[in-house]
Structure 1
């Protein structure tokens, strides 16, 4: 199901954008955007077909279809130690939109949000898009450990939000219950909101427990939002579907109102919600096989890079990206350009633009492809030097 023969390269070259097959010259292997190369689960395809058979594509409820909200809440409660009701769930058109809406709700222009460094660029972008200021809290690029003393020292009267990425992109770190509790204590002591981006929470290896942020303490439950999406675990990025969850019903309803999800101004395609709903209801067996394939790919990539003279990898606990350190002294941008020109492999440089200042000297490699493509791509990177 996840071999090279299962990849439809013609379809990818027509449809896979965002720095991937459709945007690159023939012959280049994209190990860039974190998007699987495999077609989505047959159950999801079938679910979409069944839904449109009667020919009706009417409005759904503004905050989301009941089955969508129910399935997301149940998924968090059974898999991630959550305590959500369907009424705590809002359907949004991507995890990225969820992050932006939360920043809009929590921050006034000039107010500050503490974000991790390095971390995916959308954290900074969503804060700045609403006129806020992103303040960087360093994270150890090997262990993923957060510097809590530094985090506390960054808090000012303008600070309103701490944003965390768990599991962490690009470091692949799963934050423990104890670490999350510590964040909740700091946030509570300073009356701050917390946003936890948990889009990667299904891609966790070695049967490691994942605790959704709001589950770790009463403080965590009170003033937090959780963001979730379906593009990583189920490969439906083009359907633009995610969710925002919040345990406090009064806060949640105010958030929905202020985010304009109480009218036709906002809202999510019913087709996308059906696809996501079917994913959680019927496509878990597919997802479990995908996860096994990814864990094998992770181990293979780590092994190949560990024995190279070019990159120093660290084994991710989650996600399907590696964030190895460059060994030869090149900058991240220079390295990525060299590998593209000489090895015909596209990767994401660990530059400030993509991950913040703390990412320099690293590159990000996506491994959600076939074993053959992955091996070929990694060997090309190594042999290009």
Structure 2
């Protein structure tokens, strides 16, 4: 009955684990949840007010498939003023979260059998989105290159079927931020070989300690003509449940993306769009800066705490987003152990929930979120410390 693509498609491991942990918490379990991909900050008040005002004004009907004109204008303006990207409102398509934008883009850009280059570790849904579109994910390991993809790695994997270079900056799960020079080198190779760059920049506003985020489409007009920028409101504005993302693309891609959306979901919720429009008002910038500083403080607390808990090893310094990427191989006791084994032990013996890295293509790492309170981070570190003191482990080295 099911198609082959449906039969091989697993459920989202991140969503499933987060739902499981929240269910345990609802039942009274004493767990500190470091699995989630959403900030604990509230949605900005003016975004909530914008939604209420939209309801009171009766803005509860369909909008244009690509979204409200005034919202697309505001997104284009913000991309220009904050990220240096020269987009026109006609190039913006709002979607039900950035995830929908990505999934639809692979449908728009790829023929069956086309190849999409992406790095590992990667966000769990990337390969599955690509396969659902009939394309083939070509995963490039980056453990030996500092968890960043290099032009040499791309060059070695180019084929006549290569169609898309998928980037994620800042990266989930590593938290790394590509430098402008690194992005220029990658983009130049993509342009030279006629590839479309799909750049997932959902964490672009959340960088720490002097790291500088560079949007790929800001590098040059030529690069922008080969680039689709994907972002949204879920992370920056703590609006995960509102489901508002967008793609900013060359006009032919934007038109095709809108056509696909018109035959599938239609436009995002009109109320959510009005909330997003209110969130983009300039007087939110001060609050966003405050939240970014708080997130940086939490990052430092988790980083420093993990560095004092060998044999856990922070794989890389988190520079953006809100995840720490942790090597747990030093905790293995049996040859069959992996990150899932350690994650299960941490849950059952320490009451700390972390995300195992198998579906990130990182079977010896876990992802820990610092999008939780400083108190939760401190308690989680204390619990992990107690767990390490009461459990005997061996190193695999």
TM-score normalised by length of structure 1: 0.89
Matches within 5 A, 1:80-119: 80-119=83-122
Change (3 A) 1:18 1:227: farther
Residue 309 of structure 1 corresponds to 310
**Residues of 2 paired with 1:349 and 1:170: CA distance?**
11
Residue aligned with 2:147, SS = coil
> SS at the partner of 1:225?
strand
What is the deviation of 1:284?
Answer: 2.4
Q: 1:20 to 1:213 in 2, by over 3 A?
A: farther
TM-score, length-scaled by structure 2:
0.86
Aligned to 1:232: 235
Aligned pairs for 1:228-267 (under 5 A) are: 228-246=231-249, 248-257=250-259, 259-261=260-262, 266-267=266-267
Q: Deviations over 1:276-301 (max 9, x none)?
A: 22222143222211111100000111
The separation in 2 between residues aligned to 1:129 and 1:178, in whole angstroms, is 33
Q: Which residue of 2 aligns with 1:13?
A: none
Distance 1:21 1:94 in 2: 21
Tell me the residue number matched to 1:222.
225
User: CA separation of 1:90/1:377 partners in 2, compared to 1, >3 Å: closer, same or farther?
Assistant: same
Q: How far apart, CA to CA, are the structure 2 residues paired with 1:71 and 1:251?
A: 20
Check conservation: 2:65, 2:261, Cα contact below 8 A: no
Give 1:51 deviation, angstroms.
1.6
8 Å Cα contact 1:19/1:32 also seen in 2: no
The CA deviation string for residues 335-372 of structure 1, in whole angstroms up to 9 with x for no partner, is 10010010111110011x2x12xx12111000111110
Question: How far is 1:71 from its partner?
Answer: 1.8
Q: 1:151 aligns to what? A: 154
Quick one: distance in 1 between partners of 2:279 and 2:89?
A: 17
Q: Which residue of 1 aligns with 2:296?
A: 295
Secondary structure of 2:60's partner? coil
Partner SS, residue 37 of structure 1: coil
Counterpart-to-counterpart distance in 2, 1:64 and 1:295: 33
| Residues 206-215 or 296-305, more deviating | 206-215
Q: SS of the counterpart of 2:280?
A: helix
How big is the shift at 1:39? 2.2
**Contact 2:164/2:195 (8 A) holds in 1:** yes
Mapped partners of 2:217, 2:225: distance in 1: 8
Equivalent position of 1:371 in the other structure: 374
CA contact (8 A) 2:121 2:142 kept: yes
Measure the CA separation in 1 of the matches of 2:80 and 2:386.
46
Q: Give the match for residue 270 of structure 1.
A: 270
3-state SS, counterpart of residue 189 of structure 2: helix
Q: Deviations over 1:258-280 (max 9, x none)?
A: x143x785211111111222222
Query: Which residue pairs with 1:343 in the alignment?
Result: 350
- 1:324 aligned counterpart, secondary structure: strand
CA deviation profile, 1:312-352 (whole Å, cap 9, x unmatched): 1132110111001113235111110010010111110011x
1:368 and 1:238 map into 2 onto residues whose CA distance is 16
User: 1:51, 1:141 → 2: CA distance?
Assistant: 51
**Does the 8 A contact of 1:311 with 1:325 survive in 2?**
yes
Structure 2 matches for 1:24-103, cutoff 5 A? 24=25, 25=27, 26-103=29-106
**Secondary structure, in 3 states, of the residue corresponding to 1:194?**
strand
1:10 corresponds to: none
For 1:189, the equivalent position in structure 2 comes to 192
Separation in 1 of the partners of 2:356 and 2:202? 21
C-alpha separation in 2, matches of 1:319 and 1:20: 22
What are the ranges of 5 or more consecutive residues in structure 2 without an aligned counterpart? 1-16, 389-397
Deviation at 1:145, TM superposition (A): 2.6
Contact 1:137 1:147 (C-alpha < 8 Å) held by counterparts: no
Deviation per residue, 1:137-162 (Å, 9 max, x gap): 12247833323212111111111111
SS of equivalent residue, structure 1 residue 27: coil
Native 8 Å contact 1:310 1:382 kept in 2? no
